[in-house]
Structure 1
Amino acid sequence: MSNLEERPAEVTCEAETSPGVQLMTPRDVPLGGPRAMTVRRTLPQRERSLIGAWCFVDHYGPDDVADTGGMSVAPHPHTGLQTVSWLFTGEVEHRDSAGNHAMVRPGEVNLMTAGHGISHSEVSPPQTRTLHGAQLWVALPDGARDQAPGFAHHAPTPVTGAGWEARVFLGSLLGDTSPVATATPLLGAELLLDPGTTLTLDVDPGFEHGVLVDRGAVDVAGTRAAAHDLAYVPPGAASLTLTSYDEAVRVLLLGGPPFGESIVMWWNFVGRSNEEIVSFREQWQAQLTDAGLVDGRFGIPVGEDLPPIPAPPLPNARLKQRH
């Protein structure tokens, strides 16, 4: 998904520490015009920019497509990151400049690697009446961020227990391991808890974790997180306990070791310096011509007729990287 803010803020990301569970609430971001769907953005925030390599969390729906018009995100570029698409309801059609054409469906992860540069579009088909899901970005480490673009798909088999169900789409949890390769160790899983269920998870003590609450309210290691909250859990513990209250709960559990690299994230680009971001923007704009999108660093999405999205103006101040 593209960041369609007209004036996207510079995001400078560094390693951070926290003494305990930290609750983050979302801000609403409209994706386009007045009838466009709105997403709830919980990462990045002023107080925290990354959870492991996870650098962007948009959570949306359930949205009535008749009211919002659904998802219609025209071709746009990415560098230095991976997009992770996860749906609860509906479908989204994906096309990218690496030649991939796929449907995003509930319970199936689509991971697109931008690497050196890619462009893609995301459009909900006419048969989709309700859209509900999450769009996530992963920052690529310096040694992997210039790799060729790629795409992976996986439909995890549910893992079940007393009062709970899990789908592990990245990494390992509850005895299940996703085959999807990532450049840094990552965890991504959907967890469903019946009312009044306690689930204690064995986790890597070197990971920091984020619990994104889709519905219900859940106790995360002793802290209550309500629907749409993102609860951050710092590294150090070998287990993580989740407890639902008097209603069913659905969460996304994200995790990974602290990233350890500073990044500059602006619009749809992840880089390391002001000069890189300026160059990425210039190269994308050079592909936008009166005759349509021409080939270049970001390629042309296969079979896509929507006019591409121009990059917004850069801020007046120099984009800075902190170490």
Structure 2
Amino acid sequence: MMLFLLNYCFYQSKLVVYSSRMTDAHCHLNFKAFEEDVESVIKNAFEAGVTKIINVGTKLDSSQKAIELAQKYEGLYATVGIHPHHIDKIPLCHSELVSESKDSIALLQNDNFWEEFENLAKHPKVVAIGECGMDFYKYETNGITDPKLQEELFIKQIEIANKLKLPLQIHNRQAGKEIIDILARHKSHLLNLPGVFHCFAGDMDFLKKVLDLGFYVGFDGNITYKGIAKGETTSLKDLVKATPLDRILTETDSPYLTPAPFRGARNMPEYVIIVGKAIAGIKGVSFEEIREKTIENATKIFNF
């Protein structure tokens, strides 16, 4: 515990001394992990030099909460989206969806639901649609949500993003081929700067396809971890090396994916500075160059 505290104090001082103007392009301050101290977490991030934070929605209520928080802070922004995990849960919260066997289908066809979604997404502090995408990882809690329903939900959000001229924040876990196929089929619905693949993972071929479609790539605290994640074949460090600097975004995915040396503790937006410094080390360039370029990239995509 003492060593952890010493490390924490050391890194805290380094964050303040060496940083100014960083962007956390993906976090979840609207989640329960920040319920008790979200105000101080945001304050600490700004004081450390993080000047832009994107707080990401994963269903309607968390999207609404992200917007409410964004209204309080100049440098805090929101997204509106339905995460693939939630397609089989959200309808149960809406009284108009009464047929238990058809809940998910009803969600996709429900005009009231999507009208509410679009109204949230039109808020001036909303900078993207997402977190949306597909997830074929088998979780212990809920397994894999029906892939066909995931696809329909993803396509619906691609269409809304096009309608509102907002970029996408894409979630992919072991569903890269399917996501690329969907995006290729709906290429006419993508913006010139279509968005970002959040928390990027995959192989070199997948990276090339993502870049060829015009997407940017988000890297998080897990680039500081050793080895290769379960189900993957290419190390994150190799992916960082292979990604052009003008296509990289810095993220935390707070409260998840806490970078070393704090792995196991709650992640926070201020740790995006550690992510930036890790990218600099992997690519063999200065932190200043990473800082400036990733700010420029985020500004281009999210128009803030």
Give the TM-score normalised by structure 2: 0.34
Q: Write 1 or 2 for the structure with the bigger share of helix.
A: 2
Whose strand proportion is higher, 1 or 2?
1
* Greater relative CO, 1 or 2 (CA 8 Å, sep 6+): 1
TM-score by length of 1: 0.33
